[in-house]
Chain A
């Protein structure tokens, strides 16, 4: 008996066991293999995204909580987002102040510049800046990290050892993005407002008193609440989408790159959509202060 195999290259292995391609465990026979209707794939992905969101919400309360992982991720996401967020929010607040200032000047309502620009910064600009930065800097790192762990079979190994990767890795990351988003939103609001004040008062010759007076005439506390609620929800979305794409990369290292790219794009799309809904609900529910 010879014990040497001829040195032939291996034929391709069966396709990677990609959970994304498996039929759901609960319905093993329906739909039959290869069954597809246009749009069914998108619906299936959406469903799985929501399923992940639900299980993250459920497992957030399950012991033991991964405190160490949470703190590490919180610190990491904060450290990559604080400086860019502050740097972006100054010009953003300035642009809004300049734009609103020039508009209000044209019909003689210059004294309301302060209130208007502050509202725009706190309610719209700040949560969006935060979410874009969290998703672009933190989410992409989360997605790449989870994706490379997945293709190195680390996540399978974890599951084999009876540890749920969702509870062990995803929950702390999503909670960290939410926490950082809320705190960062405060920072961006303050820096953006200061930037707007500076540009309005110094460059456009506005009066400091009128700026502050219109601020307190138009702005109210619920504006700050909705801003923080938005930041919380956006942080959750950014974390969930990044984790979902990271857990399901398709086909090797290239797939991880694609997943990172997609996670950022999908997050952006969802953010603006959800922002529209939240804003319209808020404007319907909370009466404006000036009215």
Chain B
């Protein structure tokens, strides 16, 4: 099972430029979370800070007792073995074949025999649909294949935490849908804590259990998917609808004068509840996601603190999925209904 990642008061700047400040959230163990945000809000920086590649000035990232920000380099290196990071363009080693790329972490960190390595690598390559391409060099395959190979490499050490940096960038909608399904299937199989950084609405609305959003150097919100998907906050609704009207501008944010000139009215633009797309299920033949039950229990526990719209959406969703998949054993306790 995956482990929890606790982020506390994280603040990062490059020189004078502040990227984000005081980001506090907890990635629940084994659940899939998405970090949304317009381009240039430091999503990738956030991801690299989680794993200790970048060192924020303030705050902590606690993974299994290790602070990835402030602890000794040796401990951080050790803790990184629990992570698998899928880079935006795969970040494969250009001089090695796909097989050697995926085998790299095994050869560095384990004393497995070559036959054993071959078995594990081929299993992971099949998982991401790259069986038969193991002899190719990263320069000889398409961007989508590079991404999937990067995912296979991230998964090869059975990580407890999987981080994905923009799994959709440069992919067509069909391939994006396949990647979404793949991520859910991976979660069902290895039950790892996952964080996906993206600005793709399709992924955000179908894949995760939890969604957060970065904007204006702050974490706007982080919580169960229904909270963000039903949120009436101007930034969120603009982002989800892909509209030009709203606080997000071309250079990240608009000033008040531009907003006024556009005649933007937060109340008007946020009118009408959005429909929530059901979450993806693992492909037939995959084990059920263990995170689903944990997530439901956790969300029901915090139900009273959530906004009304989110609460209704959650309860509707649980009712729906119970009717949908009869395998589920724990219906919502009726006394918790408002």
A and B pair up: yes
Partner of A153, one of B77, B87, B242, B274: B87
Q: Determine if B211 is an interface residue (Cβ-Cβ < 8 Å).
A: no
Q: Give the residues from 83 to 129 in chain B that come closer than 8 angstroms, CB to CB, to chain A.
A: 83, 85, 87-89, 91-94, 104-105, 108-109
B108–A34 contact, CB under 8 A?
A: no
In the assembled complex, the Cα of A182 lies from the Cα of B324 at a distance in Å of 74
A103 to B202, CA, bound (A): 83
CA distance A111 to B216 in the complex (A): 82
- Which of B16, B85, B241 is close to A2, meaning CB atoms less than 8 Å apart? B241
Q: How many A-B residue pairs have CB under 8 A?
A: 112
Chain B residues with Cβ below 8 Å from A8 are 250
Q: How large is the interface on B (under 10, 10 to 19, 20 to 34, 35 or more residues)?
A: 35 or more
Interchain CB contact under 8 A, A14 and B45: yes
Residues of B within 8 A of A14 (CB): 14, 17, 19, 40, 42, 45
Interface size counted on chain A using CB atoms at 8 A: 36
Does A17 contact B45, Cβ atoms closer than 8 Å? yes
Pairwise interchain contact A160-B83, C-beta atoms closer than 8 A? yes
Instruction: Give the complex CA separation of A235 and B83 in angstroms.
Output: 37
Chain A neighbourhood of B16, CB < 8 A:
33-34
Are the CB atoms of B242 and A11 closer together than 8 Å? no
Highest count of chain B CB atoms <10 Å: which of A8, A15, A152, A157 = A157
Q: Would you call B55 an interface residue if the criterion is a C-beta within 8 Å of the partner chain's C-beta atoms?
A: yes
- A161 close to B275 (CB less than 8 A): no
Residues of A within 8 A of B48 (CB): 17, 156
* CB neighbours of B83 from chain A (8 A): 160
What's the Cα separation between A12 and B201 when bound, in Å? 21
CA separation between A158 and B109, bound complex, in Å? 12
Chain A residues with CB below 8 A from B109, complex form: 161-163
Q: How far is A5 from B36 in the complex, measured between Cα atoms in Å?
A: 14
Segment of A21-29, A192-200, A201-209 engaged in the interface with chain B: A21-29
**Chain A residues whose CB sits within 8 angstroms of the CB of B44 once the complex forms:** 13
Contact across chains for B275 and A1 when beta carbons are under 8 A apart: yes
Query: Bound state CA distance, A152 and B138, in angstroms?
Result: 12
Q: How far is the CA of A23 from the CA of B83 in the complex (A)?
A: 25
The answer to whether the Cβ of A106 comes within 8 Å of any Cβ in the partner chain is: no
**How far is B245's CA from A2's CA once the two chains are assembled, in angstroms?**
14
A8 to B240, CA, bound (A): 15
Nearest neighbor of B252 in chain A, beta-carbon distance: A11
B108 and A163 contact, CB distance less than 8 A: yes
Instruction: Answer yes or no: B244 CB below 8 A from chain A CBs.
Output: yes
Residues of A within 8 A of B39 (CB): 10-11, 13
Query: Interface of B with A (CB < 8 Å)?
Result: 13-17, 19, 39-40, 42, 44-45, 48, 51, 53-55, 57-58, 77-78, 80-81, 83, 85, 87-89, 91-94, 104-105, 108-109, 153, 157, 199, 201-202, 205, 240-242, 244, 250-252, 274-275
Counting from the closest, the 4 A-B pairs by CB-CB distance are: A157-B91, A153-B91, A10-B39, A5-B242
